[in-house]
């Protein structure tokens, strides 16, 4: 039975071989391979079955036989025994002398064998020798050449020591294989082989130049991938691969450097860039010996390019190459009898560039400064050598040239050298040119700060910041002078640019010298803030006060300073609150903006963050509660603090003070704040003697002011980390829900709804959450249906829907459907449509990642997928009076959708977007135009199908009464020029005529857009476009 089964298997094998060889049925190879894998027959039986084919006089038949064997081996090479591999290698080697039609299949077989782990020692060398001797590789097809490279790569990976035993013969053999290769797919593999030859120290022998020649002939790479190339090989891939070869060994230096110098002089920018980048790469491994002979020529080429080029890219690469050369020479270890090449190299650079620094109005001054800075930035030794020569010259030139523009140029160059010193940190006393020039450098910088020219002042402030960052450079008296200058510029400089730059500089230097700023700047700012100036106009005083507040915030970049500035700001806040001048609301907002900036600067420092929180939050809450109490008992006092704009300015202060608290400290704080609002527990507030109790959630008209403070509760509880438990959370949620539905004040109702939504978003899933949501739905639905508070109910619906959409809660779809139903409501429809913008947009104060909200990735895409089909369906079924609501909702959703997603859905939605442009609602028009502009740039082929409609709509909207719509329409008309030129040419004259009108628009921003758009249309179809 077994013999019969074996006989049947051999017969089946013979039949499959016959079908493959004679019947040209390629699928039989997989069947034969499967038979070998499952043991139906062996490779030996396959060879026996192929016997007649392999001895056939027709080379095509022999080729098919070997092809079948090779394909089977490629799938089964891991199952071969050592003896089988030996016989197969000998067989394949002998076939390398066969007819050229057979060779491709022989190479495939050898590739399979090169992957065998049981390959006997010596066979790898034998195979490669046979290939090198018998096969003329470059006469083969691309795929077959690739097979040869694969065989070499496989052997280099597994038989390295054996191949190294061949010595330089292996290198020579590979050079012959690669010589003349043109296909980029093969070149990538060949370049990798050369890199391995060098990196793994194969013997190159006398063939270094030949190996360089066989690879460098491709430099610089000039390759443009064909359109729709399935292989995806880019020019950059070849460039980087070849560069890795050329820059892999110093042995190539004598051949490569002349080539690079030659290509730097090329007219092709790409060749220049490639040469410079390759030179930079080479400097990482070259030493003094390799560079010495070529340094004058290299410097000459680099200098010429920087002095003459109009290309910023070429200039940047030249400077990078010079930096690399200087760094390379700096690394060389000097012996007593060798020349210091770095010194002579820098001397030639100084000789050619130094004199140009004396001509601050001439065009070579900046190229020279950049070259010197590139060389100096390579090492501390190079920096000392260059600055020793250049810094005294620049200081002398500053004194010689009295004009502000010239001084600015000189100081900017000086600043460049000062910034290089920052790389090495502290100034070393023994050899630093900078330290020896401390007095004149400080004198020059201080004189720039007092110059009338704003531009010179700005450079002086930057230089001052750099000098301050150099440890040990400024003396105590200089530091006091620095603070005085910054104070003067901050408070009394007319130009706001200088004032703001001085504040930023103070913020940068304060953490380095906290004591100086605490002792000298803070008291002066506090004094100015408290001063009452009768003689000055109120506007000047207001501006000075504003600057003091901004400066106090800007300088609060160190915890010790924060502990001094925060009390000053809070004291001023109390003073303004007690005052009764008309502008006090704006003053309160200004103080809150400064407090917010301080809060943001404290967030990363745990100590500063907690100090700020426990100082500022109780103080703000105490002042607000006091004002609300006074409003209840004495309506005229403290009213400014309760205005919407002031409360809105306090929200980010409390939020920023809370988001970065540790869970333990946040829990400590929340145990005070929530009882304050729920139970009137005021004991933790400073100055807590109030005329009546604090009951923001109680009914009564006299408590309206207290209810407004729910905005501050929202700022606090919605910014807490998610793992902080909120005491009495269920009660708090019920109170907020009741307030949002029953309050007559829109501000209070909205903040209560937002606070409710913020808590619901973070609430753990479970029965409690389901109950509170059901309660909310039960409260909303009757109010939405009828009654005086429909708008409050809609606001609550929107915020709760957003909270649930962000966290993918199942109830979100029910609430969204409710919102979609309201689009057909005559009264609430427009507001419901605007609500889609609220759902999709980033919210500034609650429900964003910064305040730890539960925001799932791609919630916008999910909302789009679930609801846009319903919007489209609703639009088609809606009456003419409410169609605009559906268009507005759709436009808002699309406007906030990531553009790649929108492009894929464009064909189905474009007709609706075009219809939205005809809608009379300005919000719909603006939202739709904002949506279409990027689509014109990203999906020109689809948009060009509707070009007639687009041109007509855009041109008509350029006459809109709303400025924002006119600007957006002109931007879209500009973006139209990205469509195919042939599509646009018929409209060119019409558009140019129509765009003449907005050129005379009364608004400058509209005229600016009209000029840009019309200019692009004029150039349409011109040569070179």
Q: What is the pLDDT of residues 108-127, one digit of tens each?
A: 999 999 999 888 899 999 99
Peptide bond before residue 251 is cis, with ω within 30 degrees of 0: no
Alpha carbon distance 369, 381 (integer Å)? 18
Q: Which of 8-12, 221-225, 389-393 has the lowest mean pLDDT?
A: 8-12
* 632 within 8 A of 692, measured Cβ to Cβ: yes
Task: Give the residue-averaged pLDDT of 257-275.
Answer: 91
d(CA 969, CA 959): 9
* Integer CA distances (angstroms), 226 to 218, 223, 232, 233, 235, in order: 18, 9, 9, 10, 11
Q: Write the DSSP symbol of residue 451.
A: S
Average pLDDT over residues 948-953: 91
Among residues 682, 696, 768, the alpha carbon closest in space to that of 725 is found at: 768
Largest CA distance in the chain: 122
**CA dihedral angle for residue 921, residue 923, residue 928, residue 930, rounded to 10 degrees:** 150
Give percent of the chain with pLDDT exceeding 90. Answer: 50
pLDDT at 912: 82
CA–CA separation, 670 and 232 (whole Å): 57
Q: Which of 617, 602, 512, 513 is nearest to 565 (CA)?
A: 602
Q: What is the pLDDT of residue 1025?
A: 55
- What are the tens digits of pLDDT across the range 147-163? 999 999 999 999 999 99
pLDDT at residue 521 greater than cutoff 60: yes
What letter would DSSP give residue 221?
Answer: P
Helices vs. strands in the chain: H and E counts, helices first = 54, 0
Are 656 and 599 contacting, i.e. CB atoms less than 8 angstroms apart?
yes
Predicted local distance difference test score (pLDDT) of residue 818: 92
pLDDT of 792 > 70? The answer is yes
Choose between 521 and 432: higher pLDDT: 521
Distance, CA of 909 to CA of 936 (rounded, Å): 14
Name the least confident of 30-39, 378-387, 939-948: 30-39
| Confidence band for 2, pLDDT divided at 50, 70 and 90 | very low
Neighbouring residues of 792: CB distance < 8 A, sequence distance ≥ 6: 740, 741, 742, 743, 746, 749, 753, 783
Q: 955-984: per-residue pLDDT in tens?
A: 999 999 999 999 999 999 999 999 888 899
| Chain segment 691-719, per-residue pLDDT in tens | 678 888 887 766 788 888 999 999 999 99
Q: How far apart are the first and last CA of the chain?
A: 81
The answer to whether residue 317 scores a pLDDT higher than 80 is yes
889 neighbors 836 (Cβ within 8 angstroms): yes
- Would you say 96 and 134 are in contact if contact means Cβ atoms under 8 Å apart? yes
- Name residues whose C-beta falls within 8 Å of residue 958's C-beta, 6 or more positions apart in sequence: 966, 969, 970, 973, 994, 995, 997, 998, 1010
d(CA 678, CA 244) in angstroms, rounded, equals: 70
Q: Please tell me the distance from the alpha carbon of residue 656 to that of residue 603, in angstroms, as a whole number.
A: 8
The pLDDT of residue 334: 55
Whole-angstrom Cα distance, residue 411 to residue 907? Answer: 57
| Percent with pLDDT over 70 in the chain | 94
- Measured CA to CA, the distance from residue 702 to residue 713 in angstroms comes to 20
Q: Let me know: does 1011 contact 970? Beta carbons within 8 Å.
A: no
Q: Give the range among 303-307, 1006-1010, 1021-1025 with minimum mean pLDDT.
A: 1021-1025
Q: What is the pLDDT of residue 583?
A: 53
Q: Give the list of residues 6+ apart from residue 888 with CB closer than 8 angstroms, or none.
A: 830, 833, 834, 836, 916, 919, 921, 923, 924, 927
Residue 335 binned pLDDT confidence (cut-offs 50, 70, 90): low
**88/44 Cα distance (integer angstroms):** 10
CB 652 within 8 A of CB 692: no
Look at residue 530 and tell me whether its pLDDT is greater than 60.
yes
What's the pLDDT score for residue 582? 47
For 415-431, what is the mean pLDDT?
72
Least confident of 675-679, 719-723, 883-887: 883-887
Q: Say how far apart CA 708 and CA 44 lie, in whole Å.
A: 92
Instruction: Please give the pLDDT value at position 143.
Output: 92
Q: Residue 631 above 50 pLDDT?
A: yes
DSSP H helices in 377-495 = 380-400, 404-421, 433-436, 438-449, 454-469, 476-492
Cα–Cα distance between 274 and 288 in angstroms, integer? 23
Residue 339's Cα: distance from chain center in Å?
A: 47
Q: Which residue has the higher pLDDT, 470 or 763?
A: 763
Residue-wise pLDDT for 828-883, tens only, equals: 888 999 999 999 999 888 999 999 999 998 888 999 989 988 988 888 888 878 88
**pLDDT greater than 90 at residue 515:** yes
pTM > 0.75: yes or no: yes
Contact 810, 765 (CB under 8 A): no
Are the C-beta atoms of residues 381 and 328 closer than 8 Å to each other?
A: no
SS3 810: coil
User: In a 10 Å sphere around its CB, with 0-12 CB exposed, 13-18 middle and 19+ buried, how is residue 291 labelled?
Assistant: buried
Residue 336 phi/psi, 5° resolution? -65, -25
d(CA 935, CA 914): 13
H-helix or E-strand containing 883? helix 883-895
Distance CA 1007, CA 546 (A): 34
Q: Is 1013 exposed, middle or buried (0-12, 13-18, 19+ CB in 10 A)?
A: buried
CA 720 to chain centre: 28
Q: Do 375 and 349 touch, CB atoms closer than 8 A? A: yes
d(CA 298, CA 294): 6
Q: Which of 698, 779, 768, 766 is nearest to 737 (CA)?
A: 779
Lowest mean pLDDT among 421-425, 587-591, 592-596: 421-425
Contact between residue 235 and residue 224 where contact means Cβ atoms under 8 Å apart: yes
Residue 535 has pLDDT above 50, yes or no: no
User: Which phi-psi region, left, alpha or beta, contains residue 897 (left: φ > 0; alpha: ψ -120 to 50)?
Assistant: beta
Considering only CA atoms, give the Rg of the chain: 39
Rounded to whole angstroms, what are the CA distances from 854 to 655, 764, 805, 865? 17, 10, 10, 20
Distance CA 523, CA 531 (A): 12
Dist CA 642 CA 897 (whole Å): 37
Q: How far is residue 317's CA from residue 336's CA, in Å, rounded to a whole number?
A: 34
The pLDDT value recorded for residue 109 is: 92
DSSP 949: H
Q: CA geometry: angle at 594 spanning 588 and 597, to 5°? A: 140
Residues 556-567: what's their mean pLDDT?
A: 93
pLDDT digits (tens, 9 = 90+) for 41-58: 778 888 888 887 888 888
**DSSP tag of 997:** G
In angstroms, the CA 995 to CA 999 distance is 7
| DSSP code for 737 | H
Mean pLDDT of 69-95: 88
The pLDDT of residue 536 is 47
Is pLDDT at 483 greater than 50 in this prediction? yes
- Half-sphere exposure for 438 (CA within 13 Å, toward CB): 16
Query: Positive or negative CA dihedral for 395, 399, 403, 404?
Result: positive
295 or 3, which is more confident?
295
What is the average pLDDT value for the chain, to the nearest integer? 87
């Amino acid at each position: 039975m077994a013999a019969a089964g074996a006989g049947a298997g051999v017969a089946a094998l013979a039949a499959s071989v016959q079908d493959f060889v004679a019947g040209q049925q390629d699928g039989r190879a997989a069947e034969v391979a499967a038979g070998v894998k499952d043991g139906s027959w062996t490779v030996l039986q396959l060879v026996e079955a192929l016997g007649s084919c392999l001895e056939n006089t027709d080379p095509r038949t022999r080729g098919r036989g070997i092809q079948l064997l090779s394909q089977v081996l490629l799938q089964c090479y891991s199952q071969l025994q050592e003896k089988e591999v030996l016989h197969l290698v000998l067989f394949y080697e002998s076939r390398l002398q066969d007819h050229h039609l057979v060779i491709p299949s022989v190479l495939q077989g050898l590739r399979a064998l090169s992957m065998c782990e049981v390959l006997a020692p010596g066979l790898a060398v034998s195979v490669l020798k046979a290939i090198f001797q018998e096969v003329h590789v470059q006469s083969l097809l691309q795929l077959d050449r690739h097979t040869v490279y694969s065989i070499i790569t496989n052997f280099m990976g597994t038989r390295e020591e054996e191949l190294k035993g061949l010595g330089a013969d292996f290198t020579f053999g590979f050079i012959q294989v690669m010589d003349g290769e043109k296909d980029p797919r093969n070149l990538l593999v060949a370049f990798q082989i050369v890199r391995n030859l060098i990196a793994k120290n194969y013997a190159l022998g006398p063939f270094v130049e030949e190996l360089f020649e066989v690879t460098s002939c491709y430099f610089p790479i000039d390759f443009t991938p064909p359109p729709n190339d399935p292989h995806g090989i880019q020019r950059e891939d070849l460039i980087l691969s070849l560069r890795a070869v050329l820059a892999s060994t110093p042995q190539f230096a004598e051949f490569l450097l002349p080539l690079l110098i030659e290509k730097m002089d090329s007219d092709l920018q790409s060749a220049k860039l490639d040469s410079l980048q390759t030179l930079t790469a080479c400097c990482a491994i070259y030493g003094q010996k390799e560079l010495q002979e070529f340094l004058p020529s290299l410097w000459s080429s680099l200098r010429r390019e920087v002095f003459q080029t109009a290309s910023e890219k070429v200039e940047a690469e030249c400077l990078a190459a010079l930096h690399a050369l200087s760094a390379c020479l700096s690394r060389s270890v000097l012996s007593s009898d060798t020349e210091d090449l770095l010194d002579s190299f820098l001397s030639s650079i100084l000789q050619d560039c130094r004199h140009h620094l004396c001509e601050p109005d001439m065009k070579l001054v900046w190229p020279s400064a950049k070259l010197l800075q590139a060389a100096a930035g390579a090492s501390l030794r190079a920096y000392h050598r260059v600055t020793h020569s250049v810094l005294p010259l620049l200081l002398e030139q500053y004194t010689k040239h009295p004009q502000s523009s010239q001084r600015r140029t000189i100081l900017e160059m000086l600043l460049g050298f000062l910034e290089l010193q920052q790389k090495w940190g502290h100034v070393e006393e023994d050899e630093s040119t900078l330290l020896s020039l401390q007095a004149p450098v400080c004198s020059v910088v201080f004189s720039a700060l007092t110059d009338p020219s704003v531009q010179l002042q700005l450079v002086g402030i930057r230089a001052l910041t750099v000098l301050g960052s150099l440890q040990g450079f400024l003396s105590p008296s200089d530091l006091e002078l620095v603070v005085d200058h910054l104070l003067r510029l901050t408070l009394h400089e007319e130009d706001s640019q200088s004032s703001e730059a001085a504040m930023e500089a103070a913020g940068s230097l304060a953490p380095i010298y906290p004591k100086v700023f605490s002792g000298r700047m803070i008291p002066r700012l506090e004094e100015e803030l408290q001063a009452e100036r009768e003689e000055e106009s109120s506007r000047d005083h207001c501006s000075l006060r504003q600057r003091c507040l901004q400066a106090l915030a800007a300088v609060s970049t160190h915890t010790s300073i924060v502990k001094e500035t925060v009390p000053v700001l809070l004291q001023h806040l109390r003073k303004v609150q007690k005052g009764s001048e008309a502008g006090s609301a704006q003053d309160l907002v200004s103080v809150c903006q400064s407090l917010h900036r301080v809060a943001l600067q404290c967030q990363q420092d745990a100590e500063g963050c907690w100090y700020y929180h426990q100082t500022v939050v109780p103080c703000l809450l105490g002042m607000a509660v006091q004002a609300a109490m006074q409003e209840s008992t004495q309506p005229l006092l403290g009213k400014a603090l309760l205005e919407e704009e002031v409360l809105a300015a306090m929200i980010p202060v409390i939020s920023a003070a809370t988001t970065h608290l540790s869970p333990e400290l946040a829990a400590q704080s929340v145990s005070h704040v929530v009882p304050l609002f729920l139970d009137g527990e005021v004991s933790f507030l400073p100055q807590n003697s109030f005329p009546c109790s604090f009951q923001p959630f109680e009914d009564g008209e006299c408590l309206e002011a207290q209810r407004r403070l729910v905005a501050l509760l929202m700022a606090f509880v919605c910014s807490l980390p998610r793992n902080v438990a909120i005491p009495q959370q269920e009660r708090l949620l019920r109170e907020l829900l009741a307030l949002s539905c029953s309050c007559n004040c829109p501000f209070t109702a909205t903040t209560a709804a937002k606070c409710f939504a913020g808590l619901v978003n973070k609430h753990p899933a479970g029965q409690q959450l389901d109950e509170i949501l059901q309660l909310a739905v039960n409260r909303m639905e009757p109010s939405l249906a009828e009654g005086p508070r429909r708008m409050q109910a809609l606001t609550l619906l929107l915020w709760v829907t957003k909270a649930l959409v962000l966290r993918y809660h199942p109830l979100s779809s029910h609430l969204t459907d409710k919102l979609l139903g309201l689009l057909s409501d005559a009264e609430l429809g427009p507001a419901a449509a605007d609500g889609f913008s609220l759902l999709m947009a980033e919210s500034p104060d609650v429900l964003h990642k910064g305040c730890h909200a539960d925001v799932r990735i791609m919630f916008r895409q999910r909302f789009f997928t679930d609801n846009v089909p319903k919007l489209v369906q609703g639009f088609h079924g809606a009456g003419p009076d409410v169609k605009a609501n559906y268009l507005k909702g759709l436009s808002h959703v699309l406007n906030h959708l990531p553009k790649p997603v929108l492009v894929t859905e464009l064909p189905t939605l474009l007709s609706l977007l075009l219809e939205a442009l005809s809608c009379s609602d300005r919000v719909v028009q603006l939202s739709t135009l904002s949506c279409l502009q990027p689509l014109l740039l990203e999906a020109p082929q689809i948009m060009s199908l509707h070009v007639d409609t687009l041109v007509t709509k855009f041109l008509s909207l350029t006459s809109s009464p709303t400025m924002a719509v006119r600007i957006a329409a002109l931007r879209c008309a500009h973006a139209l020029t990205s469509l195919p030129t042939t599509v646009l040419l018929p409209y060119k004259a019409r558009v140019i005529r129509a765009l003449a009108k907005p050129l005379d628009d009364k608004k400058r921003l509209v005229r600016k857009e009209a000029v840009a758009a019309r200019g692009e249309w004029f150039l349409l179809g011109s040569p070179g476009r």
